[in-house]
Amino acid sequence: MGLHSLFYRLVSEFVGKSRAFIKIQEGCDFRCSYCIIPHVRGDARSYDMKLILEQISTLTQNGFGEFILTGTNIGSYGKKDKNTSLAKLLKEIFKLKGVRRVRLGSVEPVQIDDEFKELLSEPQMAKHLHIALQHTSKEMLRIMNRRNKVLDDLELFEYIASKGYAIGTDYIVGHPGESDILWSEAMENLHRFPLTHVHAFTYSKRDGTPSAQMKDIVRGDKAKIRYNELISIIEEKNINFRKNTNEPLSILIEQQKDGFYIGYDQFYNMIEVKSDTDLVGDWVEIKDYEILRGNNVAKF
């Protein structure tokens, strides 16, 4: 593939003229038992760092300030095939002029090493990480063939939260084997996690995966009840996080909708801003705002 076509492949999406999604790798070496992705997209392979940096640099010259690094398993970036790492890539990205904020797609808990932790205080890091737990029961993580472990995860999350971060996660509800006992253990553990966001999914069978062969299936209506329980716990945690935030919100306004300018702050919380000025594509700093159940609201 020529350099030119790869350039366009890496930028998977633009949002307005201010944020760009940059694909840094594809594929995954993990083998979670429910997941078809490695079978479809293959093992992890990373794009060349030089190419990624060139692309981001070109975009900054065209007014882009926020970059979202994406891939199938971005925490594996460079480790196997390029003798580098996500942390090293981030360090180079932060050196580029015009890079105002970098967000990361989903990272696996076991990939957050000391080198990465050192970057948590970098000003261009969005104060929000999305770390895929998938579950908070020790036994369920084993059944799901996950590499993370609940107690290590909890320690990691507490450390990251202590640095002022909001933390989101992926969570699968209703995977085979999720008994009432394991679910209540998982929810007890979940209460202890400093989480602010969740992408929750009810389990859906993928033919060809080990989970598809498993017994002890959780009924759909039960999974739905568990899903709602999970969502309401995280909603409560999110609102508490927003109430306890004591720094100004740094917001990139993405769009105008129903009379409000809508954007996300450094913690990846949505805000609706009322203004007489066209703010789309602008960065605004807001100190006074109202905290509603679902999001923040302000005048600017």
Q: Which is nearer to ligand SF4, 65 or 105 (CB)?
A: 105
Exposed / middle / buried, residue 81 (Cβ in 10 Å: 0-12, 13-18, 19+) = middle
Residue 65 binds ligand SF4 (CB under 6 A): no
CB atoms within 10 A of CB 294: 12
- Phi/psi at 64 (nearest 5 deg)? -80, 135
Q: How far is the CB of 105 from ligand SF4 (least distance, A)?
A: 11
Residue 269 binds ligand SF4 (CB under 6 A): no
Q: In whole angstroms, how far apart are CA 232 and each of 106, 189, 191, 195, 265?
A: 22, 15, 11, 12, 22
Q: How far is the CB of 202 from ligand SF4 (least distance, A)?
A: 15
Q: Which is nearer to ligand SF4, 38 or 263 (CB)?
A: 38
User: Helices 180-192 and 220-243: crossing angle, nearest 10°?
Assistant: 10
Contact 291, 243 (CB under 8 A): yes
Q: How far is the CB of 129 from ligand SF4 (least distance, A)?
A: 16
Q: Which is nearer to ligand SF4, 38 or 65 (CB)?
A: 38
Distance CA 263, CA 277 (A): 15
Options 23, 24, 30, 47; binder of ligand SF4; rule CB under 6 A? 30
User: Helices 49-61 and 3-10: crossing angle, nearest 10°?
Assistant: 70
Contact mark string toward ligand SF4, 89..118, x via CB under 6 A: -------------------x----------
Q: Which residue has the tokens 């890079």?
A: 99
Q: How far is the CB of 204 from ligand SF4 (least distance, A)?
A: 13
Q: Which of the residues 114 through 143 are near ligand SF4 (CB under 6 A)?
A: none
Query: What are the tokens at 286?
Result: 């807001």
Residue 200 binds ligand SF4 (CB under 6 A): no
Residue 73 binds ligand SF4 (CB under 6 A): yes
Distance CA 151, CA 160 (A): 14
Q: Which is nearer to ligand SF4, 11 or 37 (CB)?
A: 37
Q: Which is nearer to ligand SF4, 108 or 265 (CB)?
A: 108
Residue 71 binds ligand SF4 (CB under 6 A): no
- The DSSP code for 268 is S
Q: How far is the CB of 150 from ligand SF4 (least distance, A)?
A: 17
Q: How far is the CB of 42 from ligand SF4 (least distance, A)?
A: 11
Beta partners for residue 199, in sequence order: 170
Residue 176 binds ligand SF4 (CB under 6 A): no
Residue 72 binds ligand SF4 (CB under 6 A): yes
Q: Which is nearer to ligand SF4, 109 or 263 (CB)?
A: 109
- Using alpha carbons only, give the angle 9, 93, 134 rounded to the nearest 5 degrees: 70
Options 19, 38, 171, 265; binder of ligand SF4; rule CB under 6 A? 38
Beta partners for residue 116, in sequence order: none
Q: Which is nearer to ligand SF4, 15 or 37 (CB)?
A: 37
Query: Which positions ≥6 away from 69 have C-beta within 8 Å?
Result: 22, 24, 86, 89, 102, 103, 104, 105
Q: Catalog residues that contact ligand SF4 under the rule CB under 6 A.
A: 28, 30-32, 35, 37-38, 72-73, 108
